[in-house]
Amino acid sequence: MTDKQTETTHFGYQTVAADDKAGLVANVFHSVAAKYDIMNDMMSMGIHRLWKRQTIACSGVRQGHSVLDLAGGTGDLTAKFSELVGDTGKVVLGDINDSMLKVGREKLRNRGLVSNIEYVQMNAEALPFPDNTFDVITIAFGLRNVTDKDKALRSMFRVLKPGGRLLVLEFSKPQHEALSKAYDFYSFNILPTMGQLVANDSESYRYLAESIRMHPDQETLKSMMNEAGFEQVTYQNMTGGIVALHRGFKY
């Protein structure tokens, strides 16, 4: 009798048991949660705010909507969605990592955003909601950390209402070779050093750089969304393709 072969996946450039990845990713975000917002501003020179602003502009969120901000972390998108949906709407800030949720909850409550926001620890692969719950789902810089991305996309499709839309904001493949080379140098030389100086953690930021390289490129992710059931899937490259915003609808 032989042991059942263990399924594997990638954790950055490492090959690990699929069952272990969620815990490894959790350790990364437990480590970086307290400095997450500061590092985001430093790593992107503030450009992440423009990427998120474009995501909100493409979301179609309006008063009365129910929104799931998945892998919502420290709540940048949730804050704006809370204003847009108003008293008759609801925003769920969902994240698999309780450290990130705690930072997000404290930040948003300090801003006085309380009445229409719920905080739920959840796994994107098995969302704890009934079918047809949300008008809009966003996942910003979170999908690349999910172990089974296809399963997560199907789960998102299930909990979207007919007519609802999914927006995936994620690092992607730069469209120009010179930009790609410069981006690689920055990611693997500057970024871990910055992480060590600011967050006292170079390894977590090295993983983040590696996880970006292992994430599906623009066309592959578009195909994955189509296979999960989404229609009219499009994407918009930003900052030369360093980031892409994918959008798909459920009909």
Q: Which residues are annotated as a binding site for S-adenosyl-L-methionine?
A: 74, 95, 123-124
First to last CA, the chain: 48
Task: Please name the residue that has the structure tokens 């499709």.
Answer: 157
Q: Which two tokens stand for residue 186?
A: 């920055």
- The annotation places the binding site at 74, 95, 123-124
Which phi-psi region, left, alpha or beta, contains residue 4 (left: φ > 0; alpha: ψ -120 to 50)?
beta
3 state SS of 6 = coil
Residues 147, 123 contacting (CB under 8 angstroms): no
Beta strands in the chain (DSSP E): 8-11, 14-17, 66-70, 90-95, 117-121, 134-140, 160-171, 231-238, 243-249
Task: Please name the residue that has the structure tokens 């790593």.
Answer: 43
3 state SS of 69 = strand
Phi and psi at 4, nearest 5°, equal -60, 135
Which residues are 70's β-sheet partners? Answer: 94, 139
- Spell out the residues 6+ positions from residue 251 whose beta carbon is closer than 8 angstroms to its own: 162, 163, 231
Q: Are strands 90-95 and 8-11 parallel, antiparallel or unpaired?
A: unpaired
Q: Are strands 14-17 and 90-95 parallel, antiparallel or unpaired?
A: unpaired
